[in-house]
Structure 1
Amino acid sequence: MYIQRDTYLEQLKNSRFNGQIKVITGIRRCGKSFLLFRIYHDHLREEGVKEENIIKIVLDDDAYTQLCDPYELSKYIRSRVTDKDQKFYVFIDEVQYAISKEETRNPDTPIRLYSVLNGLIHLGNVDVYVTGSNSKFLSKDVMTEFRGRGDVIHIYPLSFKEYYDYVGGEKAEAYEQYAMFGGLPFVLTKNTDEKKAHYLSNLFSEVYFRDIVERYRVDLDSILAQLTDTLCSSIGSLTNANKLSKTLASVGGRKVSSETIAAYIGYLSDSFLFREAKRFDVKGKRYFQYPCKYYCADIGLRNARLNFRQQEESHIMENIIFNELVSRNYCVDVGVVELTETAEDGKRHQKHYEIDFVVNKGSTKYYIQSALIMDTEKKTKQELRSLLRVNDSFRKIVITKTHAKPWTDETGILHIGLYQFLLDKDVFMS
């Protein structure tokens, strides 16, 4: 199976020999290694780069255990860079294995790997690419530890367009499969729904939870599992650590502090399993401290974690739209419009209207509402009322689960069908 990831390949091509360390991050099993070791490798070979000039190291393979010592890693790579007049490409997979537990737990202990990678860049004829599955070790440290020499490329599970370009067929049928089993590439190698479900379910216990428990020395692994279930079952719902702590206590009968819950949410986020969407006051131009929403990085993982029991179509669609917007490099918040309105009794009341997504990229902003269907006048008014209460000039959009071509109503709101939104990244411009 060979799924082309053109967007990420272009990012790698454009960052080639830019004097920075390319840090490729993303949830485990999303295709980072395949992108680097197959797609980008093949591109370099097609351009005439010799195989011996591409130095490949896989640190989670026991054949490379010795190279988990940063100094041994440096020695090995430098021994392969044999000609100063030639260019060399260094690919290091799962680079966090070269960072010791002591280095990660003690902020005063320097992380040796970073100086090794910076040293390779200083050679001038070496281009360095590393992959990793944890933002705490990589993304958050890049600007400081790499002294401005880090270039982060975040990889997501397959978008619906990448998925559909591979599977083809009827769009609606492909979407239903995608909404059930998600976009982790290896899922597409499974030929039955049972095998897909089994693969996704096992990822939590055999990969994700094991990584988190070992990395952060989690004592309450059952609480971590319950928290994950709760977040999966409440995608698109406002929550916070204190509320989650109370929910877990009522369900499991075990009290856990909100501080512990907040820490565990941080671990899940650092492992890219969930992403937070903060609440933004549209009129006041400020963020609320809490509550916020959490969305799962892959909808198939979310469904598998809940044993495919909770198939709330509107919430799943909202999660898929959120992931699509994030993968297009938008900053995505949850919008709140606060208005003072006069009730029938003459009293003035503060009303909050929610906008599913406030989407920003540079100076561009969109307000987006996710609506499964709008088949009645009442439903239409309900879905559009928050957008109609925003008075600025930025585009207001509603996405519905239809094949409809984009059209603009008399209030200026742009209506887009879900399939066109997912398959055309420039649809907002139409």
Structure 2
Amino acid sequence: MEVQRNTYLNKLLNRMHNGMIKVITGIRRSGKSYLLLTLFRNHLRASGITDDHILVMEFDRIENRQYRDPYILLDYLKKQITDKGEYYILLDEVQMLQSFEEVLNSLMRESNLDIYVTGSNSKFLSKDVLTEFRGRGDEVHIFPLSFQEFMQIYDGDVYHGWAEYMMYGGLPLAVTMKTDEQKVQYLKSLFRETYIKDIVERNKIEKQKELEDLLNVLSSSIGGLSNPLKIADTFKSRLHSSISNNTISKYIDYLKEAFVISEAQRYDVKGRKYIGSPVKYYFEDVGLRNALLDFRQVEETHLMENIIYNELRMRGYNVDVGNVKQRYIDKASSSKLTKHLEIDYVANLGSKRFYIQSAFQMPDAEKIKQEKASLLAVKDSFKKIIIVKDVIKPFQDEDGILTIGLFDFLQNSNSLEW
């Protein structure tokens, strides 16, 4: 069954003929080639574009090895372009093309070419797009399957689907595998033989063991506030390693650049400014995170938080961790004190903002009060939401806070607008 990845397809459609190189980035095996060569190409055909005006080159195919030479490729393309009509150039794994930056900038000079490329994240990162194409690269970042996309092909109910997704994540090939054994072996091998090797080779890392240890530390602390200094202390106390803060900072940057992890910064809601360290780290795919830990630490509360964070980012939101100062009077001393309350997600997109809490359960009034406290401390008019694992009908309480169930949130792209 074909997964309809309409979020990303629509992003490509909205960028057609914009005079820029459309660059599809994302973690390895997340579906970049499928998006470009299947979904987008099928749309072009359905729109009446003939195959002779859709020029495709897959550089990772052995039969296309000669076209990795830029002069041979340009000569080939020139012979295929026989009129002044609009041509669509689809280049897959373009990092394998020699001098690909110069080739793409050269193709951009032809007014009737609309260019789309994918690239392996080991050599083709967001910062490469921004620097190499001189401001003419338009990035579309693709994530592993969302829970909504996953359920398109999962043969079962939403509850078993959630358990499967929470354990093995959304990498398309893993999703289609039949047995747990296959999925475990695939995810563990993929991380070890592909992601880690990519990062080590690209950044010339000499101490691979330290990188692997860092990944284990980060995967054990998703959803927790951390920074290089705190991680360095963990290395000293638990691993008896003296790795420096600077080395940890560099390694974390490498992991972010390779789309393995992402960083949620702390934002002072009332002061309207970023606070800086510490921050939270989340994994681009929870299946990969679980594979790092041999599927031993599958804490549903933390994985739910990671999945909600990823879902918000898939929807295009910039996501921060909210920090709200609240003043109160200490009854014992009658002193005025300040405490810091945390909002799990401050999600921003243009003029939209949502304050969101992730609550695994709210079984009683005390837990409800606890989850609402940080939201009530924010006095602006932006929408405030609590997402709970329980199956409930969405409702808005007397404080204006919307409470919705996790599955309603994940399976409805407009759920925040209720």
Q: TM-score range by the shorter chain?
A: over 0.9
Q: Is contact 1:245–1:261 with CA below 8 Å preserved after alignment?
A: yes
Distance verdict in 2 for CA 1:244–1:69, change over 3 Å: farther
Equivalents in 1 of 2:246, 2:16: separation in Å?
A: 42
SS at match of 1:148: coil
1:100-143 CA-to-partner distances (Å, cap 9, x unmatched) read xxxxxxxxxxxx43232122122122221111233984422434
Q: Deviations over 1:163-203 (max 9, x none)?
A: 11222532122111111111111112211111111111111
Distance 1:325 1:349, change over 3 A: same
Alpha-carbon distance, 1:230 to partner = 1.0
Q: Structure 1 residue 69: deviation in Å?
A: 4.2
Alpha-carbon separation, structure 2, partners of 1:394 and 1:223:
43
Give CA deviations for 1:7-32 in whole Å, capped at 9, x if unaligned: 21122222222211110011110000
1:78 aligns with 2:78: yes
Q: Distance in 1 between matches of 2:257 and 2:75?
A: 31
For structure 2, the 5+ residue unaligned runs are none
Aligned match of 1:189: 176
Aligned to 1:95: 94
Query: Does structure 2 conserve the Cα–Cα contact (< 8 Å) formed by 1:179 and 1:316?
Result: yes
Q: Is the 8 A contact 1:135 1:272 kept in 2?
A: no
Aligned to 2:121: 134
Count of equivalent residues: 417
TM-score, normalised with respect to structure 2: 0.95
| Matching of residue 262 in structure 1 with residue 249 in structure 2 | yes
Deviations 1:295-346 (A, max 9, x none): 0001111111111111111101000000000000001000011123221111
2:57 aligned partner: 57
Tell me, in whole angstroms, the C-alpha distance in 2 between the residues paired with 1:92 and 1:327.
Answer: 24
2:381 is equivalent to residue 393 of structure 1: yes
Aligned residues of 2:95 and 2:123 also touching (Cα < 8 A): no
1:356 corresponds to which of 341, 344, 349: 344
1:415 correspondence with 2:403: yes
Coordinate RMSD, CA, aligned: 1.8
Instruction: After TM superposition, list the pairs within 5 Å mapping 1:334-373 onto structure 2.
Output: 334-344=321-331, 345-373=333-361
Letter in 2 for 1:189: T
Q: CA deviation at 1:152?
A: 1.0
Deviation at 1:250, TM superposition (A): 2.4
Deviations 1:338-389 (A, max 9, x none): 1232211112222111110011111111110000000012211221111111
Provide the residue aligned with 1:34 in structure 2. 34
For 1:348 and 1:411, locate their aligned partners in 2 and report how far apart those are by CA, in whole Å: 26
Give 1:233's match in structure 2, choosing from 204, 216, 220.
220
Q: Is the 8 A contact 2:396 2:403 kept in 1?
A: yes
Instruction: Structure 1: state its 5+ residue gaps.
Output: 100-111
Partner of 2:367: 379
Distance 1:133 1:231 in 2: 24
Task: In structure 1, give the amino acid aligned to 2:337.
Answer: H
Instruction: Classify 1:54/1:299 alpha carbon distance in 2 versus 1 (closer, same or farther; 3 Å).
Output: same
Aligned to 1:211: 198
Counting only pairs closer than 5 Å after superposition, residues 214-363 of structure 1 correspond to structure 2 as: 214-344=201-331, 345-363=333-351
How much has 1:154 moved relative to structure 2?
A: 0.9
What is residue 103 of structure 1 aligned with on the other side? none
Residue 274 (structure 1) shift: 0.5
- Structure 1 363/134 Cα, relative in aligned 2: closer, same or farther at 3 Å? same
Amino acid at match of 1:58: E
The CA distance in 2 between the partners of 1:29 and 1:16, in whole Å, is 25
Q: 1:24 touches 1:131 (CA, 8 Å); kept in 2?
A: yes
Normalising by the residue count of structure 1, what TM-score does the alignment of the two structures yield? 0.92
Q: Does the CA-based 8 Å contact 1:355-1:387 persist in structure 2? A: yes
Q: Which amino acid aligns with 1:122?
A: R
Does structure 1 retain, via aligned residues, the 8 Å contact 2:36–2:90? yes
User: Given that residues 122 and 199 in structure 2 are in contact (C-alpha distance below 8 angstroms), is that contact kept between their aligned partners in structure 1?
Assistant: no
Question: Is 2:324–2:374's contact at 8 Å kept on the other side of the alignment?
Answer: yes
In the TM superposition, what is the alpha-carbon distance from 1:144 to its structure 2 partner?
A: 4.4
In the alignment, what sits opposite 1:148? 135
Distance change (3 Å), C-alpha of 1:229 and 1:76: farther
Shift of 1:266: 0.7
Structure-1 separation of matches of 2:67 and 2:328? 65
State whether residues 346 and 353 of structure 2, in contact with CA within 8 Å, keep that contact through their aligned partners in structure 1: yes
Question: Which runs of structure 1 show a deviation greater than 6 angstroms over 4 or more consecutive aligned residues?
Answer: none
Contact 1:23/1:138, CA 8 A, preserved across alignment: no
